[in-house]
């Protein structure tokens, strides 16, 4: 149950606010980009027109009567929100429902010829094939000779900063890529993180990694996973991905396959990582999970029982990215000094958040850190994507 003294859930109804901009500008831009990326026929063009009108000027409409997941969405709040403006319901909910409706519009759930065609795939593949990805993979060649702790640190930070590679974010913020990352973290509990994963010859513990974006985030996530398995910090890793395309670049099983193929086909050390991960999939020490709740419009405080039991049994759950952070702590404007351990007390096991800051939600800062950030940037540090954190609740 949410704490009654918690600040209100974030809505998208305040013009000029970050959430309002996402609904009013980012979502129409995503519709435009998807429309331009495929030779869709007139039916899909009309459906995209209708979605554009609905999400900018209209109201939330129910799912079609024959939608395979209609009951699930009703349980997730659709009945309460249908008929209301997208801007007046919890922002987390309306964003999530937008992606669900976009998939409807492009025929993703079928039946029909466009069934199963990921509307974001061209963007994901372009990123995976980019020279930047080549450079990141080539950097692995120098890493092999470094002491193991240094490698662990580098791979953890690779996974953390990989979260800047978020196509939805860059779509609506052209300056995002050019802005330099600030290497000092706003919170750094990495010692606690490693203490939960002691190196052992007979590691049996499971690590859950709740993935975020495909491509240039998923690749370093997988490299970190390979390291955890190879160095006895985890006996098994379960990679939680999305059951269908979501938030433009969120990773699905198909994206895991693309990333593994990219690794195994790369020159040098990257291919060795890829082969180890491929073998780990084969022997079950690396498993992929695509639970429907991964794309739910709800906070993790409302985890379903099966996922709750899985995370409870894990030595550590690594939660990647901005959206997962919002879902973990609750999508609310917490005072930034609210303790992270308090807002994650509901989570059933040890949990670590690895996130670059791309929305207003933040917890667990010291008063000094918050004051220094505000003095340097006003409130821009919250959403600019240049700051990052590692927060752990043991």
Ligand X SMILES: O=P(O)(O)OC[C@H]1O[C@](O)(CO)[C@@H](O)[C@@H]1O
DSSP 144: T
Applying CB under 6 A, which of residues 212, 221, 258, 310 lies at the interface with ligand X?
A: 212
> Closest Cα to residue 18, out of 382, 389, 388, 387?
382
Q: What number of chain residues touch ligand X (CB under 6 A)? A: 15
Task: Report the nearest approach of ligand X to the CB of residue 385 (Å).
Answer: 7
| 251 is an interface residue for ligand X by CB under 6 A | no
Give the C-alpha separation, 166 to 58, whole Å.
28
Task: Report the nearest approach of ligand X to the CB of residue 17 (Å).
Answer: 12
| 151 is an interface residue for ligand X by CB under 6 A | no
Give the nearer residue to ligand X in terms of CB position, either 151 or 358: 358
What is the token pair recorded at 157?
């930070």
How many CA atoms does the CB half-sphere of 210 hold within 13 Å?
A: 26
Task: Report the nearest approach of ligand X to the CB of residue 19 (Å).
Answer: 8
Give the C-alpha separation, 11 to 18, whole Å.
10
DSSP 214: S
Binding mask 155-174 for ligand X (x = CB under 6 A): --------x--x-xx-----
Residues within window 81-140 making contact with ligand X, judged by CB under 6 A: 95
Residues within window 29-68 making contact with ligand X, judged by CB under 6 A: none
Give the nearer residue to ligand X in terms of CB position, either 95 or 189: 95
Give the C-alpha separation, 60 to 54, whole Å.
7
Taking the CA atoms of 349, 355, 361 and 362 in sequence, report the sign of the dihedral they define.
positive
- The secondary element (H helix, E strand) that includes residue 188 is strand 187-188
Residues within window 305-324 making contact with ligand X, judged by CB under 6 A: 321-323
Task: Report the nearest approach of ligand X to the CB of residue 386 (Å).
Answer: 12
- Pinpoint the alpha helices (H) of the chain: 18-21, 27-37, 42-57, 70-75, 78-81, 91-105, 121-128, 131-143, 148-162, 167-172, 190-195, 218-230, 253-264, 269-283, 305-313, 321-329, 340-343, 367-377
| 331 is an interface residue for ligand X by CB under 6 A | no
| 381 is an interface residue for ligand X by CB under 6 A | no
SS3 239: strand
| 247 is an interface residue for ligand X by CB under 6 A | yes
Give the nearer residue to ligand X in terms of CB position, either 255 or 322: 322
Give the nearer residue to ligand X in terms of CB position, either 136 or 166: 166
What is the token pair recorded at 94?
């309306």
Task: Report the nearest approach of ligand X to the CB of residue 150 (Å).
Answer: 26
Task: Report the nearest approach of ligand X to the CB of residue 95 (Å).
Answer: 6
Task: Report the nearest approach of ligand X to the CB of residue 320 (Å).
Answer: 7
Give the C-alpha separation, 238 to 208, whole Å.
5
Q: What are phi and psi of 291, to 5 degrees?
A: -75, 140
Give the nearer residue to ligand X in terms of CB position, either 133 or 213: 213
Task: Report the nearest approach of ligand X to the CB of residue 144 (Å).
Answer: 29
Give the nearer residue to ligand X in terms of CB position, either 216 or 326: 326
The contact set with ligand X (CB under 6 A) reads: 22, 95, 163, 166, 168-169, 212-213, 247, 321-323, 326, 358-359
């Amino acid at each position: 149950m949410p704490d009654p003294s918690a600040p209100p859930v974030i809505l998208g109804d305040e013009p000029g606010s970050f959430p309002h901009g996402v609904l009013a500008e980012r979502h129409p831009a995503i519709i435009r980009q998807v429309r331009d990326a495929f030779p869709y026929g007139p039916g899909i063009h009309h459906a995209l027109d209708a979605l554009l009108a609905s999400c900018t000027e209209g109201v939330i409409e129910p799912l079609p009567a024959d939608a395979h997941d209609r009951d699930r969405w009703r349980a997730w709040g659709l009945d309460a929100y249908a008929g209301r403006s997208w801007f007046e319901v919890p922002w987390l909910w309306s964003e999530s429902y937008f992606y669900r409706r976009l998939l409807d519009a492009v025929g993703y759930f079928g039946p029909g010829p466009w069934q199963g065609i990921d509307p974001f795939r061209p963007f994901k593949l372009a990123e995976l094939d980019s020279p930047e990805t080549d450079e990141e993979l080539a950097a692995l060649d120098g890493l092999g000779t470094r002491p193991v702790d240094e490698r662990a640190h580098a791979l953890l930070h690779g996974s953390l900063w990989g979260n800047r590679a978020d196509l939805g974010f860059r779509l609506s913020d052209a300056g995002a890529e050019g802005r330099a990352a600030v290497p000092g973290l706003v919170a750094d509990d990495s010692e606690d993180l490693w203490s939960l994963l002691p190196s052992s010859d007979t590691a049996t513990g499971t690590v859950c990694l709740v993935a975020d974006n495909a491509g240039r985030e998923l690749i370093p996530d997988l490299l970190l996973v390979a390291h955890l398995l190879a160095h006895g910090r985890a006996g098994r890793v379960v990679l939680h991905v999305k059951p269908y395309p979501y938030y433009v670049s969120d990773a699905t099983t198909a994206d895991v396959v693309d990333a593994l193929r990219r690794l195994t086909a790369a020159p040098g050390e990257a291919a060795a990582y890829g082969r180890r991960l491929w073998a780990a999939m084969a022997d079950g020490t690396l498993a992929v999970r695509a639970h429907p709740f991964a794309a739910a419009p709800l906070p993790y405080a409302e985890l379903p029982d099966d996922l709750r039991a899985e995370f409870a049994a894990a030595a550590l759950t690594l939660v990647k990215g901005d959206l997962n952070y919002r879902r973990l702590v609750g999508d609310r404007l917490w005072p930034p000094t609210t303790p992270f351990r308090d807002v994650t007390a509901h989570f059933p096991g040890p949990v670590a958040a690895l996130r670059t800051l791309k929305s207003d939600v933040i917890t667990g800062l010291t008063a000094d850190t918050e004051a220094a950030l505000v003095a340097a940037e006003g409130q821009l540090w919250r959403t600019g994507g240049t700051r990052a954190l590692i927060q752990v609740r043991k």
